[in-house]
Structure formats: C-alpha cells, structure tokens
Amino acid sequence: MRSSPSLNEAFPVHQFAVADVAVLVIYLLGVVGLGVWFFRKSRNPEGYMAASRSMPGWVVGLSIFGTYVSSISFLALPGKAFSSDWNALAFSLSLPLAAWVATIWFVPYYRQGDAVSAYEHLEQRFGVWARTYAATCYLLTQVARMGSVMFLLALPLHQLLGWNIPALILVTGGLTTLYTLLGGIEGVIWTDALQSIVLASGAVACAIILPLSMPDGASQMMEIASNHGKFSLGSMGISLSQPTFWIVLIYGMFINLQNFGIDQSYVQRYIAAKSDGDARKSVWIGALVYVPISIIFLWIGTALFAYYTIQPELLPKSLQAEIAAGKGDGVFPYFIVDGLPTGVSGLLVAAIFAAAMSTLSTSLNGAATLTLTDYYRRFIRPQATDRESMVVLYLSTMAWGIIGTTTAIAMMEVQSILDAWWQLAGIFSGGMLGLFLLGMMSRKAGNGAAIAGVVLGVIVILWMTLSRTDFWPDNWGTIASPFNNYLVIVFGTMTILLVGWLLAYFFGPATTQDDSGETDTNTNE
C-alpha cells in the first residue's frame, strides 16, 4: 500500500539516533509487558470489561486524563495554535462544568445496578431501539477517533523511522490491538495511568526547551507571538457561522457532557472504580489535569510559530508549502525529530505513542464491550457462556482494530485533523446526549416522544452536515445551513431534548404517585 506522495514529501525523513530508537523500543516493550501481566486478570467477561470493579480512583482519573489527551491533543492542538491562535482553549474551559454535572448526576446513575454498557439504561427507559441507536452512534464516533489518532501518531514515526505512513498505521494499529486484547480494561486503565505521566513529562519538557531555543531567548518568542495575535482566544462576536470563542465554548460543553456523561469509554471506568467516591474523584482528576496540559500544548504550537518565523530556513520547502496551505499538524512532529536533542526526541515520540495508545486501547475495549453486551447478548445469544463471551470480545477487539486502522489510512488527505475530529465527533454522536437528557429530565417522556425527538434531531444533523458538502444540490443553496459545523451536536441535542419534552408535556401520560410517594409514569408507550 502506497502513501500520498505529497504527504511524505512534506515530512522529510531524518537520520535517527540509536538512543531515540532505544527509548521508544523500551517504552513499547514495557506497554506490551503490562498487557501480558494483566492477561491473567482479564480471562473472564467481568474482568475484561469492568476490572472486577476494584480500581482506585486516582488510577482511574489518570486513565481518564490519558484517554482524553490522545495524539489528537498532543499533535493537533500545537498544530492548531501554530496555524491560528488559542481559540481551542475555549473547549478546555468547558471541562470543569461538565465534570461537575457528571459527578452529580451521571456517576451515581451508572453506578447503580450491574450493567456494564452505558446504553443498557436507555433500553430500560425507552426500549431496545434507543439502546441500539446510542451504541451505534458511539461505535461510529470511536471509528473516527481511532482513525484520527493513528494517523497523527504515524507522522513523527515516519520522520524517526523512515517507514511510509500507511505501513506505520498498520503496525501501530496491530500493536495496540494486541496489547488491548491481552490486558482487558484493567490493563488499559493501569497502562493509561502510566502513559499519562509519560506524555505530560514529554509535553512539559518540550514547552521548556522551545522558548530557550530561540536565538534571542524566550522574550523573543513572546514578542513574535504577541505581534501576530497568537494568544487570541478568537472572535468574541455572536456569529453562529464562525468558530468564535463562544461557539467553541458551547461546542466544548456539549461534547464534554457527552464524554463524561454518556461515552462508554468513560462510563466503563466509573464502573471499574471500587466505590462511588473513587468514581467521582476520577472525573475531577481527569478534567482538572487536562486543562493545564491543554494550555501547554497550545503554548508549544505558539512557540513553534515564533521559532520558525525567525528561522524559516530550518523548515524544508515542502513543509513550508503545507503550512502556506493552512496545514500545521506536521510542524510539531518535524521539530521533535529535527530540533530536539538526542534522547529527548525518543522521549517525545514515546509520549505521543503513550497518548495514542491510551485512546486506542480505550476505544477498542469499549467497542468490544458494546459488541458483546448491546448486540451479541442482546440479539443473538442472551445466555452466552463466559467462554463464548470471551471469544466474542477477542474477535470484536480485532475487528474494530482493523476498522480503525483502515479509517486512519483514509484520513491522510485531511487539512486539519483537529477540525476533522471535532466535526466527525459532532456528526456521529447523533445528538444521543439529547436522548439521555430527555430520559433523565422528563419523567413523562415515553417512547413516542423520544422517537419523534430522535427523528427530528437526526434530520437537523443531516441538514447541517450535508448542506455544507458537494452532495447538496446547487439549486438547494438557499436552504443550506448557515451555521458553523461545531453547532451540529448542539442543535441535534437540543432538538431531541426540546421536541421530546414538549410532546411529553402536552401529550404524555399523567403522572401518579405510588405508595412510597415517588412520582411514577408509564414511560414505555
């Protein structure tokens, strides 16, 4: 399989040092070794999917942080700051509020009962269609996430090792699938916690080295960045068609509520925690650690802009052409290999690998869990034995690994991976947050109201998405969506919630009180 010529030319290969490769190899051996170590604890479905519900909160919290960062943050956030400004910080600022909502409402909600799937609760509320709809949306989102992560990981590895990008995607996808297959969720959580330390250390090291590498010191970097408006948080206007500060903030609030509230990857960690208190602690650790680290990533991108603005001759012409076209994702990988001291380059590549593997392993384990619980046991073999269930978990882990790897190869021509990921996440989520909120906020909402809300929500999502593509007929231009793509998840969620709530309010069944005084209603019309 051949890679795109323009992409390989844009990221020239450098002679790598033995020390850099040694650091990376030692790291990879350690990760695989951890997977083997936890294999004995993951040979039954409960261990593979829920770690026997025994994990301490601080480990789960670091695991959530490691999952949240991924190579999308590690490489795409610096790329975004390099090519534009700090507008992406608005996304991070929404995290604490989303975490607060999750600890108050979502964590206790999932911790009750024995369900491992986040979407089994939707079946209890609205029926099997709701569970299947949400599980399918989650799986599509994870495919997009895995593709973005693996592609971004391949960029620095291409420069370091000299392999073509598709081959690197295949190798890293296969390695991550193997490690996830061996360790189960307990191996994933412990390894993610350790990887989060590696990636944070690598980011901090680079954030310190870059300003000190400027010809006239760190003050020169600050002057150049300030003169070019690189610290701007974006427009403070109220336009709904541009990614203003407020649009990104609102988008971040909805996406982060979805992540902490209904994403199987996070819910599975809450369930794996040994107590309700540990589960709540894990949410706060993951959220509050991510905010300063995201600032460090943006700082790195801004420092890279100043570094190469004053020394443009350090960039190859092919990469300069990519930057002129608005693609900044390759600058940080180039600097890691070309601008860092020997050994530090290997540490940074290991950190990127850590970020990628945290996300990939989480997505693979979550996708395999839903394949078993929401599809196989629900529709094919409800009474599947533990042995049969483990076969399904192993086979589905491998299958989703192949699908994610294929998606990564298909993303090689995307202009900005961060923009692509944010847009795909908003589309594939399908407004399922609205369905969860409807079930939690309206006791009167039943099947009819929920179905109507979802149908209209999906129509809104398709309208906002397709009307900005070549698939939209030219003579329909007057009814194309005028809104920014970041608002897809916002409008989709609110359509489901408001339509469902209004229908339930006007046409829903009357509520009654049982003997205990609790309000009750028939929610399955």
In DSSP terms, 512 is beta-bridged to 520
Cα 223 to chain centroid distance, Å, stands at 34
Dist CA 405 CA 356 (whole Å): 13
Q: Report the pLDDT value the prediction gives residue 3, as an integer from 0 to 100.
A: 40
pLDDT tens for 46-67 read 888 888 888 999 999 998 998 7
Q: Rounded to two decimals, what is the model's pTM?
A: 0.82
The SS3 assignment for 273 reads strand
Side-chain half-sphere CA neighbours of 56 within 13 A: 5
Return the sign of the alpha-carbon dihedral for residues 78, 330, 254, 196. negative
> What tokens were used for 297?
């990533």
Looking at domain 5-429, what is its CATH homologous superfamily? Sodium/glucose cotransporter (1.20.1730.10)
Q: Report the pLDDT value the prediction gives residue 137, as an integer from 0 to 100.
A: 87
- Portions of the chain given CATH number 1.20.1730.10: 5-429
Element (H, E) at 519: strand 519-520
Sequence letter at residue 289: V
**By C-alpha distance, which of 294, 291, 253 is closest to 78?**
294
Q: Report the pLDDT value the prediction gives residue 512, as an integer from 0 to 100.
A: 42
pLDDT tens for 330-368 read 788 888 878 888 778 877 777 777 777 777 888 898 999
Torsion of CA 55, 59, 61, 62, to 10 degrees: -150
Q: Report the pLDDT value the prediction gives residue 2, as an integer from 0 to 100.
A: 36
Residue 452 and residue 499 in contact, taking contact as beta carbons nearer than 8 Å: yes
Q: Report the pLDDT value the prediction gives residue 520, as an integer from 0 to 100.
A: 47
Cα 110 to chain centroid distance, Å, stands at 20
- Which residues does the chain have with pLDDT short of 70? 1-16, 35, 39-41, 70-72, 156, 159-160, 413-430, 509-525
Dist CA 103 CA 523 (whole Å): 25
Dist CA 368 CA 181 (whole Å): 10
Q: Report the pLDDT value the prediction gives residue 396, as an integer from 0 to 100.
A: 95
Q: Report the pLDDT value the prediction gives residue 1, as an integer from 0 to 100.
A: 35
